[in-house]
Amino acid sequence: MARLSRLFERASGELSLPHYRVLAAVSEGDERASHVARRLALGKPAISASVDSLCRRGFLVRAATEGDHRVSPLRLTPAGRRALDEAETAMLARLDAVLAHTEDGPGAVRALNRLGAGLDTLAAERSRA
């Protein structure tokens, strides 16, 4: 997993892997920094630093909400969407190259999907506890 992470980090272009993860979480519907932090198992200081950096770089904006000024939903900017799409395209190309050199590429993809489902279940159990 560490080797795959390094491969993805090198492929992610102008995004660090932690910044990629934050943008991906926001693009999938997590609008609040606290939700992103919980989903990514990060502390609030770490997520705040990432969100601040991504906002400064023009990849995220904090949207205003009526009635509750304590909450600022996060939104991807067009530049953030482009950076995320470019990183995902490059990462998938690197993963495809690795899978082409495995004995059972489709089986490896199925195993990764099962791992993802297991991680989702574990995260759901932890959030209920």
pLDDT of 39: 81
Q: Where are the alpha helices (DSSP H) in the chain?
A: 2-11, 17-27, 33-40, 44-56, 78-100, 105-128
pTM over 0.75: yes
Distance in angstroms (rounded) separating the CA atoms of residues 76 and 21 = 13
Q: pLDDT of 70-104, one tens digit each?
A: 667 899 999 999 999 999 999 999 999 999 999 99
Lowest-pLDDT choice from 9-13, 54-58, 66-70, 77-81 = 66-70
Local structure of residue 73 (DSSP, 8 states): -
Domains and CATH numbers, the chain: 2-128 (1.10.10.10)
In percent, the amount of the chain with pLDDT more than 90 equals 59
